[in-house]
């Protein structure tokens, strides 16, 4: 019964919300990193685009979910797996030897940091917090009702701590304690068993041969047992340089066609696993129900309580994407969604609640700080 109520509310709020992205003729190498694309802090997303508020409505509450900011690769083993292919100098071409030196610099920077937030990731969240306060300073008063929760994964915790610290420096907020606890994982970063099975059986092929790539690096390509994986992992390391702010580039290893092939593979895989496709049979959406119910419950409480405030949540790209899917927010690409536009590092959804003198409530949704429209919030 609770699930049915939640679904009715979702339909009331988000029907016809469309976040339409135009395909640029040429994506930059950084953008083709997909989910590794660093949230822009100097241009683009740093200029929030709010729609005019309906006459008579004033903001009173923000419901927020943010992906952690820029990070290193998820674990150290991914770096060491790539590096081991360059141990045998006798099998390296001239380019291969150059790459070995570059990878050594990458590993020196990354060692022990697998999965952790980078300095850029911290700045991204401070920037989002700063702009949130600039847009809605009246919601962060000394008596505001404010909460902040994160996934137990450290990069999410540190993202939250930077966000909260920035708000505290800017405002009179005193009652805002960042909370990271295991019991919150049942909603803030939940993945259902059927979603895990769906992900495990999804295998999107790379629609290009790795032969050229491998031959450019290794004298005897037959010694490389998984050339496709090596190509895609090195693409990931190349993409992540923008997140760790290391002055090392690996983009020269790839042709434009190879870059596009990896980008398309990753977009397709993420869309199939977490997006809004008929063949998903509603699996990703159902996995987001507990998160939506938490959002709904806290928003209803804020509406009933009166006053001002915000509930801030910090989690992962997959959970945010599945929330979009459940809410019916249409994130369109040509065929599959573009992860650099939807889920860059520090991607976020902000639901801004407004109320008029009659007690009517409207919600403005911001995706990565850009408005995708208003809708009524009906109790």
Strand 309-315 to 330-332 pairing: unpaired
CA–CA separation, 337 and 169 (whole Å): 37
Contact 129, 163 (CB under 8 A): yes
The pTM assigned to this predicted structure is 0.92
Sheet bearing 309-315, strands edge to edge: 178-180, 145-150, 309-315, 58-67, 348-355, 361-367, 370-376
Contact between 77 and 170 under an 8 Å Cβ cutoff? The reply is no
Task: Report the 10 Å Cβ neighbour count for 45.
Answer: 22
For each of the chain's 379 residues, which pLDDT tens digit applies? 555 555 545 554 554 444 444 444 589 999 999 999 999 876 555 566 888 899 999 999 999 999 999 999 999 999 999 999 999 999 999 999 999 999 999 999 999 999 999 999 999 999 999 999 999 999 999 999 999 999 999 999 999 999 999 999 999 887 899 999 999 999 999 999 999 999 999 999 999 999 999 999 999 999 999 999 999 999 999 999 999 999 999 999 999 999 999 999 999 999 999 998 888 899 999 999 999 999 999 999 999 999 999 999 999 999 999 999 999 887 755 568 899 999 999 999 999 999 999 999 999 999 999 999 888 887 6
Go through 266-288 and write b for each residue having 16 or more CB atoms within 10 A of its CB, e for each that does not.
bbbbbbbbbbbeeebeebbbbbb
């Amino acid at each position: 019964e609770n699930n049915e109520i939640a679904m009715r509310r979702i339909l009331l709020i988000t029907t016809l919300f469309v976040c339409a992205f135009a395909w640029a003729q040429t994506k930059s190498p950084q953008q083709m990193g997909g989910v590794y694309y660093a949230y822009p802090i100097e241009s683009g997303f740093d200029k929030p685009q709010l729609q005019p508020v309906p006459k008579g409505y004033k903001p009173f509450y923000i419901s927020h979910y943010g992906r952690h900011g820029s990070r290193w690769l998820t674990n150290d083993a991914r770096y060491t797996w790539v590096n081991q292919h360059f141990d045998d100098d006798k099998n390296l071409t001239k380019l291969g030897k150059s790459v070995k030196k570059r990878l050594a610099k990458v590993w020196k920077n990354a060692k022990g940091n697998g999965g952790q937030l980078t300095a850029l990731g911290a700045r991204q969240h401070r920037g989002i917090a700063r702009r949130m306060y600039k847009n809605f300073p009246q919601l962060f008063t000394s008596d505001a009702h404010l909460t902040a929760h994160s996934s137990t994964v450290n990069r999410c915790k540190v993202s939250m701590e930077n966000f909260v610290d920035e708000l505290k420096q800017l405002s009179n907020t005193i009652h805002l304690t960042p909370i990271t606890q295991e019991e919150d994982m049942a909603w803030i970063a939940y993945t259902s068993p059927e979603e895990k099975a769906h992900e495990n059986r999804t295998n999107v092929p790379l629609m290009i041969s790795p032969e050229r790539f491998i031959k450019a690096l290794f004298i005897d390509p037959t010694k490389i047992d998984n050339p496709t994986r090596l190509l895609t992992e090195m693409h990931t390391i190349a993409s992540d340089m923008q997140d760790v702010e290391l002055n090392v580039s690996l983009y020269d290893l790839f042709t434009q066609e190879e870059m596009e092939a990896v980008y398309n593979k990753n977009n397709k895989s993420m869309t199939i696993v977490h997006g809004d496709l008929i063949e998903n049979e509603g699996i990703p959406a159902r996995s987001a129900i507990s998160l939506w119910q938490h959002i709904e419950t806290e928003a209803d409480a804020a509406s009933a309580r009166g006053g001002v405030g915000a509930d801030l949540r910090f989690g992962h790209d997959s959970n945010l994407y599945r929330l979009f899917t459940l809410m019916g927010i249409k994130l369109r690409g040509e065929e599959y969604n573009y992860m650099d536009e939807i889920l860059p590092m520090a991607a976020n959804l902000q639901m801004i609640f407004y109320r008029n003198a009659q007690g009517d409530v409207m919600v403005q949704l911001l995706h990565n700080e850009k408005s995708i429209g208003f809708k009524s919030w009906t109790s």
